[in-house]
Structure 1
Amino acid sequence: MKIVALKEKPWQYRDLSSSIFISISEISESLNRSKLAGLIDIEGKKIKRNALMEFIQHGFKYVFPQLPGAIVNGIPTAHSHSFYKNQIVSQLLIVWPTPDGSVRGQSIQPLHKGVVKAIEYDELFYKLLASLDIIRIGKVREVKLAIEELKKHIL
């Protein structure tokens, strides 16, 4: 999602690593898996956008399942993200747990612990991750809304 958020800006492994607080080796491993899965090109620089969207729509929730857990302080995600709050009405707040969190809600684990810091510097990246969290835990109508938003940025 960070590569999607960068749009067409050039990047290197160290750029991704420092911007999403993930080690260069983890970036390398992730990109190698993505090449093998056909989600990025063989050089590892261009996203195969249709393949990525197909994976998100049909496989993401199975590969990264999540159930909301305990009530904790955290950062709003999924339908609790500010972009979705007016579109999806829910009494339940969903958060990534962090002691510095601004709200209390049911916790879900982020895709990686580094994203909690990374979203402070990239609002689009934050919205894309919140959209993925809707796919992980949302109801059918919510998931359709998140998929439509992701399509605007991926396709």
Structure 2
Amino acid sequence: MISHKGMRPQDVVVVLKLISLKSLLQSDKGAYIRQTAQTHLAVALGLSQSEISGSLQRSRIVRLVGEDKREVYQQNFLDFLFYGLRYVFPAEPGPLVVGMPTAHSAEPLRSLIVSQELYVWPDPQGSERGQAIEPLYNKVPYAARQDERLYELLALTDALRVGRAREIKLAQQKMKDYIYA
């Protein structure tokens, strides 16, 4: 039996990328399978192939993805995001930095929530100044710039990590909309 030493933050991002790819390519099963090859995931997320392989194996063990490591178990993943994420991978707003907007400061929540607080992932290529939110792993801004849908999913994930009750409720509903689309 393979031992499981716990989830890592990048595991969440890998599953979110699978969701992003599936929604973009759901009409062409063959392209979906080719696009979700570990090599593609590694390049798209700025991770090594061995990190992708380990991530998918951990997610399979905890039943976030299927045996094929491509099918996301949607309800299991939502349960993890809604009820475990903020305890396993917490985030607290930090100092003011230049970066890429996240949480309620990015779409899809930005147009729904009026707030004086601006949260950003520290990123020298960023366009806004706000309170730093440590991303799930250091390549998150890179990965978000490559895939707009992934960016929205990551921003919603950060809203679940740092949001207040209203932001969390809106993020949960939007996340359901994305995952069950």
Could you say which TM-score interval applies, normalised by the shorter chain?
over 0.9
Superposed CA deviations along residues 74-123 of structure 1, whole A, max 9, x for unmatched, are 00000010322221111010000012211110001111211211111211
In structure 1, what is the Cα distance between the partners aligned to 2:70 and 2:21? 12
> How high is the sequence identity, in percent, across the aligned residues?
41
The one-letter amino acid of 1:20's match is L
Superposed CA RMSD: 1.0
Aligned to 2:175: 150
Does residue 4 of the first structure (1) align with residue 19 of the second (2)?
Answer: yes
In structure 2, what is the Cα distance between the partners aligned to 1:110 and 1:22? 14
Aligned to 1:18: 43
Q: 2:101 aligns with which of 66, 73, 76?
A: 76
Aligned to 1:108: 133
1:6-155 matches, cutoff 5 A = 6-7=21-22, 8=26, 9-10=32-33, 11-155=36-180
The one-letter amino acid of 2:20's match is A
For the residue of structure 1 that corresponds to 2:108, the secondary structure is: helix
For the residue of structure 2 that corresponds to 1:82, the secondary structure is: coil
**TM score, norm. by length of structure 1:** 0.96
**TM score, norm. by length of structure 2:** 0.83
Structure 1: gaps of 5 or more residues: none
The one-letter amino acid of 1:67's match is E
Structure with more contact order per residue of length (Cα contacts < 8 Å, sep ≥ 6): 1
CA drift of 1:16 comes to 0.4
Count of residues paired in the alignment: 155
CA contact (8 A) 2:120 2:133 kept: yes
